[in-house]
Amino acid sequence: MLLIDAHLDLAWNALQWNRNLQNSVYTIRTQENKSTGAGRGLGTVALPELRVGRVALAFGTLLARSTGHAVQNVDYGSPSQAYAIARGQLAYYKALADIGEVRLIGNLQQLEEHIAAWYAWEREPHLPQPKTGLVISMESADPILAPGQLSSWKDAGVRIIGPAHYGAGRYAGGTSTELGLTPIGVELLDEMNRLGIILDLTHLSDQAFWEALNHFDRPMLASHNNCRALVPHQRQFSDEQIRAIIGRNGVIGVAFDNWMLSPGWVHGSNNNEAVHLSEVVHQIDHICQLAGNCQHAGIGSDLDGGFGREQSPVDLDTIADLQKLAGILTVRGYAETDITAIMHGNWLRLLRSSWA
């Protein structure tokens, strides 16, 4: 079954983690077997495994924060530094497209041609397998120097923007804050509205979430967000927030980070054997129950978001194992048409409606 994954930090892994994603996961693990740090030697995402897992399309992120200090390999001291990092990540995606490793998707015609090629390959697998398509998404709008610069980012390929990440962003309060939209955040949403860029609500604080919802009237999504009712944490969305996204015909992508799947899971505890892919299905099912249908749940794995197998469900070795979800959903009583919607159809519908 074809898959769409709405959140992968591919360029960040390639450039800030120095991973050659043209190599397999297993080669990268071997290259990192003497490295230290979260996820080193335990990665789950690379381009060969995306193709094995039939990931027809992924939302590839640009990720750089401007916090005024340098923490980890995502924070930079000034907006100009964040701008340069994000432009470099964008150049990486373009380089992959130039050498035929991926296909960049930025409009409806490209989307339809790309998905048609994958459907044709599904029917006739003796044909050459298409490359994974990438829709460019920005996680944290900090690299945008000013709202008036947004049109140049759109021209460069950005189609989705999440204004914030962790902490206090230049445009909005993010995870672990109680801050709303900043004045330039309101201006940014106005420009996104005007230019038709999709809003990603993921990582917004509760205050910024509701302010954005009231201010933005175009399509919106939550690329990688789980349910607060199942795992209590401000990073997750409440039932009220999920219903609000559903009411706007949005889609919520379920993330695969163990601490977002299992209450009380502790970073570094090496207890991922307690978490299985069935926990992902619990999150999907909760969204479907709130909606009363299967039209608003999808996959936003975030499997390369700064962790590896040590922080992923124990029955997942690489991203190719996303295919296991279809079987688990079948056992849970989901019909094939609903499974197809969850695996890729809902994201496809959202992109079609946004780009029509």
Q: What is the pLDDT of residues 202-245, one digit of tens each?
A: 999 999 999 999 999 998 999 999 999 999 999 999 999 999 99
CA distance 171 to 169: 5
Nearest to 223 by CA among 256, 176, 255: 255
Domain range annotation of the chain: 3-355
Which pLDDT value is given to residue 264?
Answer: 83
* d(C-alpha 164, C-alpha 193), whole Å: 17
pLDDT value of residue 271: 63
Q: Which two tokens stand for residue 283?
A: 């999150």
> Position of tokens 């608003």?
296
Would you state the pLDDT for residue 270? 62
Q: Tell me if 133 sits within 8 A of 119, measured CB to CB.
A: no
State phi, psi for 218 to the nearest 5 degrees. -100, 180
User: What's the confidence (pLDDT) of residue 274?
Assistant: 84
Q: Is 234 helix (H, G, I), strand (E, B) or coil?
A: coil
Rounded CA separation 84/286 (Å): 40
Q: How far apart are CA 131 and CA 145, in angstroms?
A: 33
CB-based contacts of 82: which residues, under 8 Å, 6+ apart?
64, 65, 66, 76, 142, 143
Read off the pLDDT of residues 294-309 as tens digits, 9 standing for 90 and up: 999 999 999 999 999 9
The CA distance from 342 to 6, in Å, is 12
Residue 69: predicted pLDDT? 65
Domain 3-355: give its CATH code.
3.20.20.140
Task: Extract the runs of DSSP E, i.e. beta strands, from the chain.
Answer: 3-8, 55-63, 65-66, 75-76, 102-104, 132-139, 158-162, 198-200, 220-221, 252-254, 297-299
Helix (H) or strand (E) holding 183: helix 183-195
The series of mean pLDDT values per 10 residues for the chain, 356 residues long, is 97 97 98 89 97 98 85 87 97 98 98 98 95 98 98 98 96 96 98 97 98 94 98 96 98 97 82 86 98 98 96 96 98 98 98 96
Per-residue pLDDT at 36: 84
State how far the Cα of 88 lies from the Cα of 169, in Å rounded to an integer.
20
Inter-residue contact 261 to 285 (CB < 8 Å): no
